[in-house]
Every structure is written in C-alpha cells, then in structure tokens.
Amino acid sequence: MEQTRSLWVLSGLFLIALAVRVIYFIELSQIPYFDTVLPVYDHFNFDQGALNFAAGDGLAQSPNNSYSPLYKYFLGSLYFLFGRNFYVIYGLQFTLGAVGAVLIFLIGKKLFDVPVGLLAFAGFAFYSTEIIYEGIILRAAFITFLGILSFYMLIRLRESTTPLMLTGCALTLSLFFQSRPNTFLCLPFVIFYIHQYVFETWDPQRRLKGWGMFLIPLLLSFIPLLVQCYLVHGRFVFFDSSGSTAFMAGNFIDYPGVGFDPSLLTLFQEKHQMENLSPVSFIFQQVMSDPVGFLKMIGRKFYFYFNALEGASNLSIYLYLENSRILPFMINQFSLFSALGLMGIVLALQKREKIFLLYAFLASLILSVAIFHVVARFRIPSAPFLILFAAYAVGRACTWWGQRQYKSIAVFTMVFLALFYGLRAPEGYTKVRYVDYCNWSTAYLQEEKWFDVDKAETYAIQCVEAKRQLSSDLGVTNASLASIYKLYGAYLIQQQDETADKILQHAFSVDPFDSELYRMYSDFQAGRNETRSAIRHLQISRVANKNDAVPLKTLIQLYYKNDSDPGRLLVVLKTVLPAEKDPGIAQKVKDEIHRLEGLLATKKDGVKSSTAKARKYLSEGKWQAALDEYEKLNAFNASDARLLIEQGVVYENLNDEEKALDSFYDALLIPGDHSELNKNLGNYYLSAGNPVLAMLHWTRYLETSPKEDEYLPVQERLKFYSQQVRMKSLSKHIFGLSDEQNRHLYKIYRNMKVELG
C-alpha cells in the first residue's frame, strides 16, 4: 500500500514538472529558434556533428570540434533513429528535466525530509533557465540531468552496493564527466565518499573487488571518446580542447566577472604583452605583477556566480523569457536560490547534517564554473544542489514558524533580504547583447515558415539601440536593418505603393554606403517618370561603391532612353566595359564606343578654341554666354572632368542647382581625382540638410585627399555628423503584415542579394 502511494506521489510530481514543460514546449514551437540553428551559435556544431554521425561519420565531426563530443553522439543517435526531429529531441530533453525534478525530490527526502524534498522539487521543476536550456540543443540540461542521476545513484549506493549498482553508478558518473571535463572536480570527493561511507565496513578483499567493479568500468568507458578525440585532433585531448581558451578568457585581471568575450582577453594580452603564453605562465605573470587585482577578479567571479544576472555567452535567455507567457511566472531569479542556498549551507553546518556528498558536489560544481568564466549555462549543473540547500533553509524556517520561534524567523528574513538584495543584477551589466538582438532578427528571415519582416525589424532596431548603448563609436551603418528596409522597399515598389519613398529614404540613414539602396530608389523614381532623380541616384550608387558596375548598366539604359549626349554615353560605356563578362555584349559595347569616338573626332578641331572662349566668359561672369559654350563642349566631352565641373559652377551662378548637380555627378563618372569635388558636394548636402549624402562624399574626399589643408576639419565634421546620424532615434516602419504579405516578401527575399547578421 505504501509503495503504491509512493508511486502515485512520484507520478504526480513527474506530471506537474512535465506539464509546465509541455506548455513551454508549445510556446517554443511557435518561434524560429525551435528549429533554426544559426552558424554563429555553439549548438550549430552539435547539430552538424550529430547530422554527420547519423549520416555515417563515426567521428561525428563538425566545423568546431573543440567541445566534448558526447552530446553530439547523444544527439546523433536521435537523428539516426528519428531524423532531425526537434519534437523528439526537445520532448526527450523536457522528459529528462521532469525526471530530474522527481530525482531532486527523492534526494531531498533522503538527505533531509519530505517537505524539503517537495520544496527542492518545486525549485527545480519551475526554474526557468533550466527549462529554457532543455529546449536548446546545448549540453547544459544534458549535463544537469547526468549530475542529478549520478548523485542519486551515489546516495543509493550506501543501501544497495550490488555489482550491478556499482557498475551502473560508475557508468553514469563516466557520462557526467565526459559531457564536460570540468565536472571531474567531483571525482576525488566521490572516491572519498565511496571509501568512507560505502566501503566503510567492508573487509580489505571485498573492498578491493568493490573498487574494481567501480573503477574499471569508469576508466574503460573513457576510452572510446578519448580515441575519438585523438583521431579528430591528432593528439591526446581530454575530451574537450576548448579548455585553455575558456580558462584564459575568464582569468585575466580585467575580466569583469561575468560573460564571455574573447576580444577583451585579446586586448588585455596585447596591452600587457602576454600573447602566446601558456595558461600557467599567463596566471603566474598576473599573480606576480598584481596579486591584489587577481584576487579581486576571483572575487568578482564568485560574486557573479551567486548573482541574479544570467550572463550571456552564446545566447541570452532573457529573449526566451520575453517570448514566453508561462516562463515569467516561473522562478527567474538565480539569486533566490543563492541567498537561500548560502543560508541553507550555514544552517546545515550549524546542525551538523551528515551530507558530505552534497557539500562536495556543490563546492566542486561551483568551482568548476569559477575556474573558467561565469555564464548562465555553466551554472545550471550546479543549480540542483544549491536548490537542495535553499529548500533545506526554507524547511528550517517553516519548522521555526510551527514552533513559534519568531525571533529566528525575523533573523532569517532579514538575512535573506540582505543577501537577495545584495545579489540582484547590478546596474550597467548587459542582459541582452546587441548581437543577441541581431541574431533573433536574422532568425525571422531564415525560413519561409518563420519569415516575419515585422519582427525582424523589431529585433534589428533593438540590436542597433543596444549597440549604441555599448559604444557610440561602433560603426556608422547597420547592414542587417538596411537590408530589411531594402526588402520591404522592393515589395512596396512592386505594389506601386508610394510609401516606398519614405522607407528607402529612411534606409539611406541606416546604411549610407549601401549602393543597392540607391539603385532601388532609382528604379522607384524611374517608375514614377522622375528620370533626373533616377539618374542622380544611380550616380550616387556609383559613389557609394565604385566597384559596383550594376548602376552603370542601368544608367546606360536611361541615357539611351532619354537621348543623352554622346560624351555622357561614352564615359559610362568605357567604365562598364572592363566589368562585362559576356563576350558578345562586350563586343557590342566596343562597337558602340568606336561609333561614339568617331563622332567626337569630328569635333576635335573646335574644342580648343571653344574651351578658351567658355573659360573667358566664366572669368568675366558672363554666365549665359559661358553656359552656351560649355553645353556645346560637354555634349561630346568624355575625358575632361574639369569642363563639367566648370559647367556646374555656371549653373550654380544661374541658380539652377539641379543642373549644377547633374554636371558635378557627370564629372564624378570620369576617372580621376575628384577629392575637391567630393568635399564641396559634402558641404553642399550638409547645407541642404542631407547629412547622409554629406557623409558619403566626405568619406570619398578623405580616401583620396592628401592629409593637409582641410583634411582634418572635414574629418572632424564627418565624425560629428556620422555620430549624429548613428545616434538618431530609430522608429518602427513595418507593422501588421499579413501571412500573405510575408509570403510575398519571402519570394522577393530569396531573389535579393542581402547582407544579414
């Protein structure tokens, strides 16, 4: 009867833990990260390795083989049996999480009592970070389950020391250790525990056999993965070759105490000339040069281990929380476990609880994080054991309440509040990095079933805003956001929607150097019969990217359509010819160049005298007379940019800014040094209230001008207005797209050359 009741209790607890996970599972299946695995993420390597293993690669190789391969084989086995089916993978991982919650209950009940077991169950079953990682193909939840199972089997070993139990315990621990080698810190304590508490009453001969049944399977089971690592790396690797990089990235004096940013390590090494040092030498030099600073860094890491901040490394769990309705109601503050857990440790020591293995596991797993760097997923395997101490602390408080020990309750409450407040996420530390927002934006553009330009824009804007908060000097442009507007603009142009004008104009300020944006705007203007604007923006496109031949080809079409002057045509044809890959088209271009050059040859005799006359009128301020001469000259001018610039000056004096700009942009197409012209165009656009084009032309000026005279003032102006444009508040422009609109956009997207990431 008691056994049946116990089975019902365990089943009920399992179903409660599973129900929460099923609800989240349904939510997860509605966002791209359910089955979108971007190459920038660590789980891309597990995914690729698993796919290769399922396809017959016994080494389960992936683009980055530095991580311990056990999880790849676990994942690859599922791929082999069920295909790359994320319903199966996450379903199994969520089931293991629910089983882990039940095991935590059994551990709490065994070490303490039923109330503590129930509290520990609740802590683990409703811990949001654990649930999130159960829905990601990363090792964190996998390692956590193996750690809980190993611990449970070890405490059961005292009651059932059969050969099967010893071997099973050894193999479970082996999997735990192989999943991430830093868990080996537990092994000495496990050995001591077995010696002191399991084999305590055994005679020497029986003890020797017991050690054989435990150690031999443990050590032999290491061999397959050690062989795999040797074959993959060509040298002995203790399961994971990323250890030295991970260690050094979290053990330099300037390490902030949380997160993983290899660039900070690189800067530190360059600053202190510590490149190419071994980990031992790296630590030794720091300790010798600044022992106090090194100790402060260690202190920061322990502080952030217990802190509420969930440090991001590969991804941010906060975005998963934002995209869930159920998880915000779960336990989201790690500091809750930290504060209560630390109090539980003190209370357990005070009461002399005989729980050596729990102390050892928690201490080892905390140290396994603090030795390297503190990030959210590294803490998860240690969380169940901290939760057990937290449950013990709450259990003691409940006992005091029942015994009316209100003084103890008051002290308990004050200590808890002080710790909980002291371990809150500090101001100024990043919860969601700009790259996290960028990656979520990209995820909404990867596959047709998830394709949502509205959401992609939302996260891309957040990416830019987060980047600005980090530093106002991080780049002038944002290609991803500009590409989203480029895509939406293309859709609006197809729909003949005048809103395209506003979208593309806004996109210019997001990425002023995207030549394709100007080409698109030219197409839009051509469709509205705004030929001059269409030509102008093709010329600007060429300024944005002088290696892009596409605007020139479109420009040729517009020139012929509008009967442009032979000189204007010849300039563009000569420029585009070297980029033409089709031999047939190239020959036609050559023939046309030959024809136009023949026309120009007939005008050679009068060019010299006409040039002198035009410049004479220019110097005398006879603008109309000068213009008549310049127009005759430049109709056939394909080589002298100065004549076009002078014509532009004449137009300026006749107050015809548009024709002046036509002349200046025609001049920019003729090969040569146009630094002065670019500087003046930049100044003009600034005065006209267009800092985007001002930035574009100033940039081209600085690329070609010698560093003298006005170089530094222009450089300062460019820096100032670049920052103004960069820091300009961004607002959403894409709202409420229907499924049909997104499908249409996706078709456009597949045919567009866009830059995302």
Residues 6+ apart with CB under 8 A from 575: 552, 669, 671
Burial class (CB in 10 A: 0-12, 13-18, 19+), 116: buried
| Banded pLDDT at 265 (limits 50, 70, 90) | confident
Q: What is the pLDDT of residue 301?
A: 93
CB atoms within 10 A of CB 596: 21
What's the average model confidence in pLDDT over 103-130? Answer: 97
The rounded distance, in Å, linking the Cα atoms of 517 and 532 is 17
* Closest residue by Cα to residue 195 from 203, 183, 207: 207
Strand partners, 127: 331
pTM of the model: 0.86
The answer on pLDDT for 472 being more than 80 is: no
| Banded pLDDT at 263 (limits 50, 70, 90) | confident
Q: What is the pLDDT of residue 210?
A: 93
Range ranked top by mean pLDDT from 227-231, 267-271, 557-561, 584-588: 227-231
The rounded distance, in Å, linking the Cα atoms of 280 and 267 is 19
Domain map of the chain by residue range?
A: 2-154+315-422, 243-306
What's the average model confidence in pLDDT over 676-698? Answer: 92
User: Burial code of 303-335, b = ≥16 C-beta within 10 A, e = fewer?
Assistant: bbbbbbbbbbbbbbbbbbbebbeebeebbbbbb
Q: Which tokens in the block code for residue 419? A: 């710790």
Q: What is the pLDDT of residue 638?
A: 82
* Closest residue by Cα to residue 227 from 219, 237, 218: 237
Secondary structure (3-state) at 364 = helix
Q: Is 69 left (phi over 0), alpha (psi -120 to 50) or beta?
A: alpha
Q: What is the pLDDT of residues 474-489, one digit of tens each?
A: 444 577 888 899 999 9
The answer on pLDDT for 252 being more than 70 is: yes
| Banded pLDDT at 1 (limits 50, 70, 90) | low
The rounded distance, in Å, linking the Cα atoms of 62 and 53 is 10
Burial class (CB in 10 A: 0-12, 13-18, 19+), 26: exposed
Lowest mean pLDDT: which of 96-105, 469-478, 589-598, 660-669?
469-478
The rounded distance, in Å, linking the Cα atoms of 679 and 664 is 12
What's the average model confidence in pLDDT over 94-102? Answer: 98
The answer on pLDDT for 438 being more than 50 is: yes
The rounded distance, in Å, linking the Cα atoms of 535 and 514 is 17
Residues 6+ apart with CB under 8 A from 566: 596, 599, 600, 635, 636, 638
The answer on pLDDT for 293 being more than 80 is: yes
Q: What is the pLDDT of residue 474?
A: 47
* Closest residue by Cα to residue 51 from 40, 35, 66: 35
Q: Is there a contact between 641 and 674 (Cβ–Cβ < 8 Å)? A: yes
Q: What is the pLDDT of residues 502-558, one digit of tens each?
A: 999 999 888 888 898 999 999 999 989 999 999 999 999 999 988 888 888 889 999
The answer on pLDDT for 299 being more than 50 is: yes
Measured CA distances, 532 to 126, 205, 535 (Å):
64, 98, 5
Q: What is the pLDDT of residues 186-196, one digit of tens each?
A: 999 999 999 99
Gyration radius of the chain over CA positions: 35
